[in-house]
Amino acid sequence: MAILKNLIISAVGDVAPGSGKDYSQLRKWVEANGGRWMPRVMKGITHLICSKEAWKKDVEQVQVAKKLNAFVVSYDWLEDSLQGRRKLAEHKYTWEVLRRQQKKIKKIKKMGRQADTAKFRKGCEKAQEDIGSGTSSRKRSKGGFFASALDDLKKRREEREVEEKARRQGRADGSGIGASGVASEGRVEGQGEVPTSPVQTPPSLAMPNPTPPPLSIPKAQSKAPPNPKPSDGILGPSSAPAPASAPTPGCCSNPPTPTYSQPPTNKLKDLYHVYTDTTGFTYDLLLLRQNPFLNTFAKYELRLYESHAKPHVYCTFVRYTPPASSTSSAPSGVPIIPSRIRGMHDGAAVGNSSGGDNKQGGGTASNEKARLDALITEPTARDDAPYKALLVPANSAFPPAFAAFRHAFRDLTLLTWEERLDDAETHPLQRARAQALAIEPFLWKARPVPGLPVGLLPAVPLPTAADASYVRNRWNLPGVQAPLSTTGGAIGSALHREAEETRKREEDAARFRAEAREKTKGGARKPNWNKPLFNGVNGRPRTDAYGRYVDFRSGVTGAGVPGSRPGGGSATGRAVVLDRSGQRGWIRGTKFGYEG
C-alpha cells in the first residue's frame, strides 16, 4: 500500500537511532511505501523529518523548508504512519506544536510544584497558628543531623572563652586612658567625698590584671557605702584622683558593664504540617452549622497534623468558633495540650495566681483547697466561647490520631468516616439520625466533587463499618449537643418545613373529601323521598293500617297515591282499581279507553 504516495521527504539531524548518517534506512522505508526520498532540501519538498537539536539551532535546511512551506515534523510522524498503515495528519507532529505542548506541560508541572508548595506552606501556617509549630529553619545546623551534645557544649565553651579573653585584653589596653573617668565615676557611684590629695603609690612597672566586675544588679541594690575606699585590685596604681577638670571626651560616663555570652536556648519543638495521604486528600475539614434566619453559623475546623521529621508522628486538632451573635468576651479557648491534662494545665495557671494572693494576704485553707481543686478539675467548654484543643497529644502514632479524627467527625456530623460522602443535597442518613437523636449536626462544606481524592478507607456506607471503640462526645466538645430547632440549622429547618408541607397536604386532602361528600348529597335519596311534598288542605294525609294513603273526600284507600289522575287514572296511562277485598289492581290504558 502506497501510504506515502506523492510525498517528497528529506531528513536533517539525528532523527532516530540506527538511521545512519546517510539515512539509508529511512530512504528504504519511504521508497517502499510509495514516497520519494530527497537527499537535501530543495524546491518541491513536502516533509522534512527534523531532530529536536536541529530545530532548536534553526539550521539552514530548516529555514529553507519553512520558506518552501514544507511540514517540519518529528520522526514519530513517519513511524506512526508506517505502523498505522495510513498517512497521519502532520499538525500535531510539527515541531511548532510539539514545542508549544512541551512548554505547556513544563508550565503545568511547575504550577503543580508551586501548588503543592503553597499547600504545604499553608498547612505549616495553620500548624503555627493552632499548635505553635511551623516550617523548619532555613539555616542548616553546622553539627549535622546527629551531633554530640558534649561536643556542642565544648565548642560553645571555647567560643565564650575566646570572646572573654578579647574583652579583657580590650579593657587592659584602655585602663590608662580612662583613669580620671574611673575616679570621677567612683565619686558619682559612691555619692560621697573623694580625698583631694593624691594617694602616694609607688610606681609599678607591670600592669596588674584587672578583675572583672560582678554582674549588673538592680539600681535599688547598687548603692555603694558613703565613703568608698579605693580598692587596690580594682583601681590599680594609676587610680589616684585627678584635679577637678572636665572628663576626657573619649571616656564614657558609666563604667563598661561586661556582658557574658549565654548559650542560645535550644527550642525543641516539633514541626508539623497538615497531613496529606497517598491519594492526595488533605485532612483539613471545615464543618458548618448555619442559621438561615439569623444569617450566622457555628464553625468547626478539624485537622490531622503530621511531623516533618521521620519517623512521622501525628496529632489531631479541633477548633470551635461560635456564632457571631453569641461570641463571648471571655478569653478564647483552651491551651493546646492533651485533653487528659488540659484541666491540670489551666488549673496550674489559676493556682499560681491564687498562690501569689495567699503569700500577700497570709493564705487560708479555703484558697488552698480552691487551688488544689483547680489543678484536677477540667474546665467546662461553653457553646458561646471559642475553643481549641488537641484530641490526642503531639508525637502520637497514626492509628490513635486517625481514630480521634474519625470519632470527632462522627460526633459533629452524625456520620461515620465511611459515610462521609452522603448525598450533599438530601442528606438521608444525616437527617434520619438527627431526627432520631434530636440533635442539629454540622455539615461538611467544600467536600470533594466526584473524581477528586476522598481520603483513606472506602467511602461506602455499610452497616458493618461501626467502630467498636467509638464513644459519643468523648471529649465534651462544645456545640455538639445542640437540639433541633425550627429557626436554626439546615437539618432542623428542613425537617420543620417538610412537616409543615405534609400537614398542609393532609388538611387539603381532608377538605377536598368533605367538599366531595357535600356534592354527592344532592344526588342521593333523601328521607321520605316518595311521600307528598306538601300537606293537603285538610292537613297531613292519612294512611291506613298498611301505610296507604286515604283520600279525604272519598275515604277510599289509594286515591291519594302520588301520580294518580282524577278518576283513577295514572300519569302512565294506567288506572288503579280496588277490588272488593281492597287489593290494588292495574288496568292498562289505551288511546280510546281502558281495557281490563
Q: What is the pTM of this model?
A: 0.47
The answer to whether the CB of 133 falls within 8 A of the CB of 270 is yes
pLDDT, residue 371, reads 81
**Rounded to 10 degrees, what is the CA torsion of 430, 434, 436, 439?**
160
CA atoms of 429 and 491, how far apart (whole Å): 11
Of these ranges, 11-20, 150-159, 454-463, the one predicted with the greatest mean pLDDT is 150-159
Convert the pLDDT of each residue in 202-216 to its tens digit. 444 334 444 444 434
Residue-level length of the chain: 596
Going from N- to C-terminal start, the domains of the chain cover 8-93, 272-334+383-461+470-524, 337-380, 528-596
290 membership: H or E segment, kind and range: strand 284-291
Above pLDDT 70, what percent of the chain? 59
The SS3 of residue 60 is helix
Whether the per-residue pLDDT at 453 is higher than 70: the answer is: yes
Comparing CA positions, the residue from 313, 282, 334, 273 lying closest to residue 125 is: 273
592: confidence class by pLDDT, cuts 50, 70, 90: very low
CA 493 remoteness from chain centre: 25
CA 241 remoteness from chain centre: 74
Grid cell digits, residue 398 = 497514626
Give the phi and the psi of residue 475 in degrees, each rounded to 5.
Answer: -95, 5
pLDDT, residue 484, reads 82
CA atoms of 143 and 133, how far apart (whole Å): 23
Residue bearing the bigger pLDDT, 332 or 167: 167
Checking 163-166 for CB contacts under 8 A at 24+ apart, the result is 163/261, 164/260
**Rounded to 10 degrees, what is the CA torsion of 431, 436, 438, 441?**
-40
Q: How far are the Cα atoms of 280, 447, 505 from residue 458, in angstroms, in the given order?
A: 15, 15, 41
**Terminal C-alpha separation, the chain:** 114
195 prior amide bond cis, ω within 30: no
Convert the pLDDT of each residue in 244-271 to its tens digit. 444 444 444 454 544 444 444 434 344 8
Whether the per-residue pLDDT at 571 is higher than 70: the answer is: no
Residue bearing the bigger pLDDT, 552 or 344: 552
Convert the pLDDT of each residue in 292-324 to its tens digit. 777 888 899 999 999 988 889 999 999 999 888
pLDDT (average), residues 491-501 = 83
pLDDT, residue 471, reads 85
The answer to whether the CB of 72 falls within 8 A of the CB of 65 is yes
CA atoms of 318 and 336, how far apart (whole Å): 10
304 membership: H or E segment, kind and range: strand 296-307
Convert the pLDDT of each residue in 409-440 to its tens digit. 999 988 888 888 877 666 788 888 888 888 88
Grid cell digits, residue 484 = 433541633
Give the phi and the psi of residue 285 in degrees, each rounded to 5.
Answer: -105, 145
Question: Is 8-93 assigned to CATH 3.40.720.10?
Answer: no
Whether the per-residue pLDDT at 80 is higher than 70: the answer is: yes
Whether the per-residue pLDDT at 328 is higher than 60: the answer is: no
Give the phi and the psi of residue 289 in degrees, each rounded to 5.
Answer: -130, 105
